[in-house]
Chains A and B, each alone.
Chain A
């Protein structure tokens, strides 16, 4: 049995009335399951990342021990290097991921509540189930995620039919170009993963910082300059931010997500006295960056929007940003 009974029932009942709605409901259920499976299952596998003519291969091991995620990512080509994430609570909530969940909880805290307006993902994407196919030697379900506007990319997701784990993902531009592709070549779901497999073995290892909306380690009552966009595509909500107390000059980061796509706004103070226009852009695969200078209170700042969104979206967001002093 691949589709859960309630989902199937809903799909069947709806199908007689409105086929699209029925498919969408089943698709929505898959998304919900996907948002859990990648964090809650044990698996190991090798996947590739491709954009243009570039190809990268990585090995991933993921395990949950006593409600805590442990994962290790090893780059298989070039200089040995790894990424280790250890100690991340499965129950830890992230707004972007939560958006794909049905009945998920909202992030806590006054700052979050004031900014986080939660739309359902289906307000901004049309969801539809496609053909049954095979990826990494597993039966997979194709899930089409088409944006309702031109501010974000579309996706073709291929989920494991049994577990809803993502096996393959294509990111597609509004004009229909495939910008990047993640794809498992092989994967073992429910694998028995030994501790040694989750430890760094070679080369430089990065332990990604984990920050959420309510930043800790900052004096309460303190105010900091933060980038506040006056325009965002509908559905993008604040999902993370970082202000480093130990280094006031360190860039401030604010991330927005609509559940599929993310944008990080980076605000960096420049040396006083610079009053010159900077306006630059960058792109690779699905990732774009738009950089501009902003003057605020006679101080120059460099603002950069980095994300997997169309360049025009990044540009428009960057142009709309005002700097505001806000309580942390």
Chain B
């Protein structure tokens, strides 16, 4: 029995496992300390091979795997772990006008959250701010002011355009985070789950 579990364990770590393997391992993890230790050991080895040691070595993935498999007595399919999704994803119609969006999103004063904690562009962002030559977008006359930050002008095309898109996305993301923070401040009072909603804000920051 344990041999089968060991096989399933290996399969799991090689991402070759099927549902049966997964169930077998999870069942074994419940009652078998040796399998549990083996699981962690394999995880460390596997992580090291993927050059991820330090990031994942301390994490016991089984709890989360189990959770996402757990039946929960729900008559509902459970969510598969999502791929990391961009917080802000312009709709299709935006793509056409992305350069213009950049002007809009950078051309206005960023919202300052209550408590004096303004949203500042990150250092990485500031370094990537496209400046210089102007094109049709700049002709609109939109420039941004973040205090002493450099003037932002979205350039017209070429490689710089990519930078402008990234900038627009980053600015949109920062703006949404500021909005979300305020939203959570209130929703914690207007739903009956107390301060729990603040956990959502944290992951916004962590998603950076």
Residues of B within 8 A of A (CB): 64, 67, 72-74, 76-79, 81-82, 84-91, 93-94, 97, 100-101, 103-105, 107-109, 111-112, 114-115, 117, 140-142, 172-173, 175-176, 179-196, 198-200, 202-207
Closest 4 CB pairs of A and B: A96-B190, A49-B199, A52-B82, A176-B76
For the complex formed, measure the closest distance between the CB of B93 and the CB atoms of chain A, giving whole angstroms.
5
For the complex formed, measure the closest distance between the CB of A209 and the CB atoms of chain B, giving whole angstroms.
4
Whether the pair A280, B91 counts as a contact (CB closer than 8 A) is yes
Q: Considering only CB atoms, which chain B residue lies closest to A47 in the complex? A: B196
Whether the pair A271, B206 counts as a contact (CB closer than 8 A) is no
B187 CB contact (under 8 Å) in A78, A273, A308: A308
A240 CB contact (under 8 Å) in B84, B109, B172, B189: B189
B104 CB contact (under 8 Å) in A51, A178, A270: A270
Whether the pair B199, A58 counts as a contact (CB closer than 8 A) is yes
A78 CB contact (under 8 Å) in B112, B185, B198, B206: B206
Whether the pair B79, A130 counts as a contact (CB closer than 8 A) is no
> A105-133: which residues lie under 8 A (CB-CB) from chain B?
130-131, 133
Query: What total of A-B pairs shows CB separation below 8 Å?
Result: 238
Across the interface, which residues of B come within 8 angstroms of A166, CB to CB?
Answer: 192-194, 196
A selection of 29 A-B contacts at a CB cut-off of 8 Å is A47-B196, A49-B199, A49-B203, A60-B194, A60-B195, A75-B202, A85-B195, A96-B190, A130-B73, A142-B73, A156-B72, A169-B193, A176-B76, A178-B74, A204-B117, A207-B115, A208-B188, A209-B114, A250-B111, A253-B183, A255-B183, A255-B186, A262-B187, A268-B111, A270-B104, A273-B142, A280-B91, A280-B94, A302-B104
Across the interface, which residues of A come within 8 angstroms of B173, CB to CB?
Answer: 282
Determine which residue in B88, B89, B189 has the highest number of CB atoms from chain A within 10 A of its CB, and name it. B189
Known: A52-B82, A270-B104, A281-B89. Contact between A97 and B190, CB under 8 A? yes
Across the interface, which residues of B come within 8 angstroms of A56, CB to CB?
Answer: 199, 202-203, 206
C-alpha spacing A34/B193, complex, angstroms: 8
C-alpha spacing A244/B83, complex, angstroms: 38
Q: Considering only CB atoms, which chain B residue lies closest to A78 in the complex? A: B206
For the complex formed, measure the closest distance between the CB of A138 and the CB atoms of chain B, giving whole angstroms.
16
C-alpha spacing A85/B44, complex, angstroms: 41
C-alpha spacing A285/B85, complex, angstroms: 10
Whether the pair B191, A259 counts as a contact (CB closer than 8 A) is yes
Across the interface, which residues of A come within 8 angstroms of B104, CB to CB?
Answer: 270, 274, 276, 278, 293, 300, 302
Whether the pair A209, B185 counts as a contact (CB closer than 8 A) is yes
Whether the pair A176, B142 counts as a contact (CB closer than 8 A) is no
C-alpha spacing A274/B108, complex, angstroms: 10
Whether the pair A282, B193 counts as a contact (CB closer than 8 A) is no
Q: Considering only CB atoms, which chain A residue lies closest to B101 in the complex? A: A278
Known: A210-B189, A284-B85. Contact between A274 and B77, CB under 8 A? no
Is A249 interfacial (CB 8 A cutoff)?
A: yes
Is A54 interfacial (CB 8 A cutoff)?
A: yes
For the complex formed, measure the closest distance between the CB of A216 and the CB atoms of chain B, giving whole angstroms.
14
Q: Considering only CB atoms, which chain B residue lies closest to A49 in the complex? A: B199
Instruction: Classify chain A: how many residues form its interface, as a range.
Output: 35 or more
For the complex formed, measure the closest distance between the CB of A30 and the CB atoms of chain B, giving whole angstroms.
11
Across the interface, which residues of A come within 8 angstroms of B81, CB to CB?
Answer: 52-53
Q: Considering only CB atoms, which chain A residue lies closest to B81 in the complex? A: A53
Across the interface, which residues of A come within 8 angstroms of B182, CB to CB?
Answer: 209, 242, 253, 264, 266
B93 CB contact (under 8 Å) in A73, A211, A279: A279
Q: Considering only CB atoms, which chain B residue lies closest to A261 in the complex? A: B191
Whether the pair A262, B195 counts as a contact (CB closer than 8 A) is no
Across the interface, which residues of B come within 8 angstroms of A276, CB to CB?
Answer: 97, 100-101, 103-104
Whether the pair A206, B115 counts as a contact (CB closer than 8 A) is yes
C-alpha spacing A257/B191, complex, angstroms: 8
Q: A81-B202, A206-B117 are in contact. List 6 more A-B contacts (CB 8 A).
A: A176-B77, A177-B76, A208-B184, A282-B176, A284-B204, A306-B180
Across the interface, which residues of A come within 8 angstroms of B198, CB to CB?
Answer: 58, 73, 83
C-alpha spacing A96/B188, complex, angstroms: 10
Across the interface, which residues of B come within 8 angstroms of A172, CB to CB?
Answer: 74, 76
A169 CB contact (under 8 Å) in B94, B196, B207: B196
Q: Considering only CB atoms, which chain A residue lies closest to B78 in the complex? A: A178
Across the interface, which residues of B come within 8 angstroms of A54, CB to CB?
Answer: 203, 206-207
Across the interface, which residues of A come within 8 angstroms of B97, CB to CB?
Answer: 276-278
Across the interface, which residues of B come within 8 angstroms of A23, CB to CB?
Answer: none
